[in-house]
Structure 1
Amino acid sequence: MQSRNTNKKQRSLGLKVLILTSLLVIFIIIAFLGFFFWAKSSTIEQSEYNTLYQASGMHGETQTDSVLVVATYNIGYLSGMTNNLPVRPTRDFYLNNEKRVIQALSELDADIIGFQEIDFDSRRSYYTNQATMICDSLFAYGAFAVNWDKRYVPFPFLPFKVHFGKMLSGQAVMSKYSIANQQVHQLERVQSKPYFYRAIYLDRLAQVVTINHPVKPIVVINLHAEAFDAQTRSRQLDVVYKLFWELEKDFAVILLGDFNSDPKVADAEINIFLNDNRLVACAFDTNNVMSAHNTFPFDNPNERLDYIFFNSQRFELIDSRITTEFGDISDHLPCVATLKFK
């Protein structure tokens, strides 16, 4: 009899443990899903993702002749060589890099520049709008495109205190000449990754900006292509290549940005542009790919990821270079070109 009662108590206790464990598991799942859907939700309306901006400051007169200086710079949200590393630079670190980038850009004196990885309102860069800061200081006009809008990005994964947190980041084209309009093309996402990864990951964009140059309108395509999945990147560059030549029917087009493709790699996706003899690749010798001037990482450049292309029938290349004067403001180096209308 006593043994039977003991068994009943044990079964009852086991059932309670099972129920409590089940409730705990259900709670953890609900909490995780609640956090996940909150984290991946946007912080602003999608109608605010793509905007034109007129600087608040006064700037000097723009050149009206046929020569212009263009540049592309993955600014790495001014995080220098800490980009994507499990560290959290101080506010003073960013303040110093903000001053440095304004000085370096002022000396560069580009007429048109495309930025990638520029923050608009992100925890990781202490909620500074880097785009308006630069535009108000140096350029009259800007076109901004958000490609990463999340309430919480749990990366780098550990420790928790270095998580990016709130993210509002993207791309920007800035110009000394007025901007007529912009269209933003969202490129294919990486389908091989799980849903949870894709939901938090940034979008890849081709930002198409029409600029009112006094000689003739220019279209600038500012690209930030997929970094990690080669097949996706290949399809993205195919789309951009077709877009370039479609726009070239009516406009002089300059394609620039971070293509995330090194020509020294076998079957490099960038070859779709490098192998087209109608195009000029700035600061690049297509006859000697292995000697290409590299742009990443800053401290020991061994990859060429950043490019400027144009149709040789539209412009003459006067000069181009990969500039090191920006130092370790970013983990990328800028590519700069001086062009002349034909």
Structure 2
Amino acid sequence: MKRLYFAFTLLILYSCGVSREQTKTAQKSSSNELKIMSYNIHIGNPPSKPGIIDMEAIIKAIKAEDPDLIALQEVDVNTARSGKINQADIIARKLGMNFFFAKTIDHDGGDYGVALLSKFPISETKIHRLTTVAGSGGEPRVIATAKIQLKNGKYIRFGATHLDHLRNPVNREIQIEEINKIGTEEKLPFIIAGDLNAVTESTVIQKLDQVFMRTCSKCEPTFPVVTPNRTIDFIAFKKTDPFSVISHRVIQEHYASDHLPVVALLRF
């Protein structure tokens, strides 16, 4: 009798395991779900290793999450400091994704900027130049966007950005207002992601919240990587868009970059 009970228990446990695995697989392949990542990759330089570029660490961190769409910040293309490599192209090829790189500044013999990556076809790429007040000391900033055809045939627009880093928020406030205007005028569902260099209680995020819905309300810290105490990396979509948030996570990868990656799973 004990043997029969043990065998029956094993059968139940096995069945539950199969059920969970099937559910997990179905969730991953669902046509109405979208996994988004935002990651400031710090030009592939681990903070613990000054002067070293470790692209494999960045790729490993991204691959572990298997996102559908990625917004990358602090990306080098053909700069001397990064060994004259195209970081956006390397990451995209290793992950089997399409990509679009948007330069913000010339740097060290090459380009520096943001990139967006997609498992799905991309088209109608745009670089929107954001305002930096003359004499403020800020660098040029952009939001790069692309039209994405999803696996269910629907279209959305996806944007990657990195706002001004100066203590004075004047540039960020103008830049987020410009992004809000772009979002308001966009007819497709519109998701943006990036390093906004602004904490949740700032006027910058208050302005963002007027047009966009963040994937987190009580957001975990994303920076600095050693002892994170600030949330400055976000994923958001237009409030009028048919998205709902299934989950939002800050990935605890503390080696590859000075920021933690952020991942959101959306239903649409």
Q: What is aligned with 2:126?
A: 183
Q: Go from structure 1 to structure 2 and tell me whether the alpha carbon gap of 1:233 and 1:279 turns closer, same or farther (over 3 Å shift).
A: closer
RMSD value, Cα: 2.0
Instruction: List, as ranges, runs of 4+ consecutive aligned residues in structure 1 with deviation greater than 2 Å.
Output: none
- 3-state SS in 2 of match to 1:223: strand
CA contact (8 A) 2:44 2:257 kept: yes
Q: What is aligned with 1:147?
A: 104
Q: Offset at 1:246? A: 1.2
What are the ranges of 5 or more consecutive residues in structure 1 without an aligned counterpart?
1-61, 151-164, 286-291
Tell whether 2:188 aligns with 1:251. Answer: yes
Q: What whole-Å deviation, never above 9, does each CA across 1:236-255 have from its counterpart, x for those lacking one?
A: 111111111211xx211101
Q: Which is strand-richer, 1 or 2?
A: 2
Tell whether 2:267 aligns with 1:330. Answer: no
Q: What is aligned with 1:59?
A: none
> What TM-score does the superposition give when structure 2 sets the normalisation length?
0.82
Could you tell me how far apart the structure 2 residues matched to 1:129 and 1:307 are? 25
Could you tell me how far apart the structure 2 residues matched to 1:311 and 1:239 are? 14
The one of 192, 208, 211 equivalent to 2:148 is: 211
Could you tell me how far apart the structure 1 residues matched to 2:198 and 2:223 are? 11
Q: Offset at 1:63? A: 4.6
Could you tell me how far apart the structure 2 residues matched to 1:282 and 1:144 are? 24
Q: Offset at 1:88? A: 5.1
Q: What is aligned with 2:231?
A: 304
CA contact (8 A) 1:323 1:336 kept: yes
The one of 204, 212, 224 equivalent to 1:269 is: 204
The one-letter amino acid of 2:243's match is F
The one-letter amino acid of 2:148's match is I
Tell whether 2:213 aligns with 1:280. Answer: yes
CA contact (8 A) 1:139 1:175 kept: no
The one-letter amino acid of 2:246's match is I
Q: What whole-Å deviation, never above 9, does each CA across 1:184-240 have from its counterpart, x for those lacking one?
A: 1111123124xxx6xxx7420011111111331010121111110411111111111
Q: What is aligned with 1:32?
A: none
Could you tell me how far apart the structure 2 residues matched to 1:110 and 1:306 are? 16
The one-letter amino acid of 2:177's match is D
- 3-state SS in 2 of match to 1:220: strand
Q: What is aligned with 1:70?
A: 36
CA contact (8 A) 2:177 2:208 kept: no
The one-letter amino acid of 1:222's match is A
The one-letter amino acid of 1:182's match is T
- 3-state SS in 2 of match to 1:254: strand
Q: Offset at 1:64? A: 6.6
Q: Offset at 1:80? A: 2.5
Identity of aligned residues (%): 27
Aligned residues: 238
The one of 165, 176, 180 equivalent to 1:241 is: 180
Q: What is aligned with 2:160?
A: 222
The one-letter amino acid of 2:233's match is D
Q: What is aligned with 1:132?
A: 89
CA contact (8 A) 2:183 2:238 kept: no
Q: Go from structure 1 to structure 2 and tell me whether the alpha carbon gap of 1:63 and 1:139 turns closer, same or farther (over 3 Å shift).
A: farther
- 3-state SS in 1 of match to 2:175: helix
Q: What is aligned with 1:57?
A: none
The one-letter amino acid of 2:37's match is A
CA contact (8 A) 2:77 2:111 kept: yes
Tell whether 2:197 aligns with 1:260. Answer: yes
CA contact (8 A) 1:283 1:335 kept: no
The one-letter amino acid of 1:252's match is P
Q: Offset at 1:300? A: 1.3
Q: Note the 1:186-205 alignment, pairs <5 A.
A: 186-193=129-136, 202-205=139-142
The one-letter amino acid of 2:213's match is V
